[in-house]
Homo-oligomer: A and B are copies of this chain.
Amino acid sequence: MNLKQLSHMLALSQTTVSRALNGYPEVNEETRRRVIDAAKRHGYRPNPSARRLATGKTGMIGYVLPTGTTVDIDPHFVEFLSGLGDYARSHELDLVLSPADADDQETTYRRIVANRQVDAVYISSPRPVDRRVALVSTLGIPFIVHGRSDGLDFDYPFTDIDNEGAFHEAARLLVQLGHRRLALINGDDRETFAIHRERGVRRALAASGLVLGEGHVCSLAMTEENGYRAARRLLEQSDAPTAIACSSLIMALGVVRAVRDLGLTIPGDLSLIAHDDVFPWLKPENFSVPLSTTRSSIRLAGARVAERLAARIAGLEEGARGEVWPVDLVVRGSVAGAPG
């Protein structure tokens, strides 16, 4: 059932039917009703390929998915996706994932824009001076960055959480509790979020005349194993930290295991605070010692990004407004005063 058939059976022109369906004003309400009714009754659905060809609108938002046998999409992605999908569903948007070589995502961004495959794109896990952000903003397609890229000489729209503030708060609390030797087990420090977190910790320490020791910061992919290794390394050195801030719940699992292996306890020997992106399947309150966290739902962020993307597509949002969400510091049993 296409426009032609439908208009023919209504004894109207395709123009009128199209306009009636798309809410254009120059059609009689009575006629519109008739058309809409008939369309519904015959299950007419405009062919999106044709519509796209004519309008350029696709009803899709794009994301370039970094892939490669050595590349791991991390589990945060799925939570973000849940939120994004949730919003997208209610607005009839689809999401197209274009897999790309992790080291060359730009070609793919170019392609999907040149091909007008999507109405908007988002970018995640940005790094400082991120070339994708630069590229996409010159390409002139609506976009939102989830996170931030520093050092760019132009503004761009983003939604980020206050990573620096969160880790500043966490570190400040630890310092207030008397800790003098803090360590940071961070994510990949080529990513902005990790840099911001480190900055937050350093700033808090500096406020009390302390520093983050040379060997007291680790930047690794956020796996349980890396959390374990980092913690072992930190805790076995002579000036072992008495408190650790950790960038992920998954890494924190490894930290807890290391602590146990070394015969230490939390929070007796070590205070621990981790960042919690709010996974349904792993909760900080369920750690053997309930884990203090800086908490921010990545799922909500996904929904927000989708919302802004939709607004931009509709022309309701413009400009380079960046928003930074505050992060909750949730104190649980894993922190205590410094030992000794």
CB of B99 within 8 A of CB of A89, answer yes
Bound together, the chains give a CA A27 to CA B48 distance in angstroms of 33
Bound together, the chains give a CA A156 to CA B74 distance in angstroms of 32
**A9 proximal to B (CB < 8 A):** no
CB of B281 within 8 A of CB of A250, answer yes
State whether A96 and B99 are in contact (beta carbons under 8 Å apart), knowing that A115-B45, A116-B47, A257-B288 are contacts in the complex.
Answer: no
In the complex, residue of chain B having the shortest beta-carbon distance to the beta carbon of A86:
B67
In the complex, residue of chain B having the shortest beta-carbon distance to the beta carbon of A282:
B224
Looking at the assembled complex, report how far the CB atom of A95 sits from the nearest CB atom of chain B, in whole angstroms: 4
Bound together, the chains give a CA A283 to CA B223 distance in angstroms of 9
Bound together, the chains give a CA A111 to CA B260 distance in angstroms of 53
Contacts of A115 in B (CB 8 A): 45, 47-49
In the complex, residue of chain B having the shortest beta-carbon distance to the beta carbon of A55:
B49
Contacts of A86 in B (CB 8 A): 67-69, 99
Looking at the assembled complex, report how far the CB atom of A274 sits from the nearest CB atom of chain B, in whole angstroms: 14
Contacts of A95 in B (CB 8 A): 65, 96-99
How many copies the complex holds: the figure is 2
Contact with B along A283-327 (1 / 0, CB 8 A): 100111000000000000000000000000000000000000000
Question: What bracket does the count of chain A residues touching chain B fall in?
Answer: 35 or more
The residue that A67 contacts in the complex, of B82, B100, B116, B261, with Cβ under 8 A, is B82
**A25 proximal to B (CB < 8 A):** no
Bound together, the chains give a CA A186 to CA B149 distance in angstroms of 43
Residues of A93-127 whose CB lies within 8 A of B? 93-101, 111, 114-117
CB of B99 within 8 A of CB of A85, answer yes
The residue that A72 contacts in the complex, of B68, B99, B280, B287, with Cβ under 8 A, is B280
**A207 proximal to B (CB < 8 A):** no
Bound together, the chains give a CA A69 to CA B87 distance in angstroms of 10
Bound together, the chains give a CA A249 to CA B326 distance in angstroms of 32
Looking at the assembled complex, report how far the CB atom of A104 sits from the nearest CB atom of chain B, in whole angstroms: 11
**A241 proximal to B (CB < 8 A):** no
Contact with B along A24-52 (1 / 0, CB 8 A): 00000000000000000000010111101
Q: Which residues of A contact B (CB under 8 A)?
A: 45, 47-50, 52-53, 58, 60, 65, 67-69, 71-75, 77-79, 81-82, 85-86, 88-89, 93-101, 111, 114-117, 221-225, 228, 250, 253-254, 257, 260-261, 279-283, 286-288
9 CB < 8 A contacts A-B: A47-B116, A49-B52, A73-B78, A85-B97, A89-B101, A95-B97, A95-B98, A253-B253, A257-B288
